Amino acid sequence: MLRGAHAISLDSKGRLAIPTRFRDALREECDGLLICTIDISNPCLLLYPLAEWELIEKKLQALSSTNPVERRLQRVLLGHAAECELDAQGRCLIPGPLRQHAGLEKKIMLVGQLNKFELWDDTRWQQQISDDLLALPREGWESSERLRDFAL
């Protein structure tokens, strides 16, 4: 499980060092091969272990290439997908166009989301968390069947 928010830095070449606690598992699970693409809903990137990305590809492959909305989704996600292999030091290179899309410069946040990471510019991440906390309802959880029985 990929979890937690980790403040990390991009080096001058656009590489990020995956936290040590994830490196061995990623090397074992996917031979250190990750796939990075854009998030269509937020100004961040999504970084998947290869096996998790292959599940997304199957879903994308099942979409119609003649339906304009489905084709757009395929084009955007697959067109931006880039292989990012962990090097011996546990770093992976994030391609320039992807870094530019998410506004990634030096300080970034690597945020575990169970089956993938999100990569955020630090400032955007802080704003997103603030917005999310304000948007969470104080009551009314029962309006969502999946949240009705959710408790911490």
Give tens-digit pLDDT for 51-89.
999 999 999 999 999 999 999 999 999 999 999 999 999
H-assigned helices in the chain: 20-30, 50-61, 68-80, 96-102, 122-135
Structure pTM? 0.90
CB-CB neighbours of 18 under 10 Å: 23
Low-confidence ranges of the chain (pLDDT < 70): 139-142, 151
Q: Which residues lie closer than 8 Å to 51 by C-beta, 6 or more apart?
A: 29, 30
CB-CB neighbours of 96 under 10 Å: 10
Helix-strand-coil split of the chain, %, nearest 5:
40, 25, 35
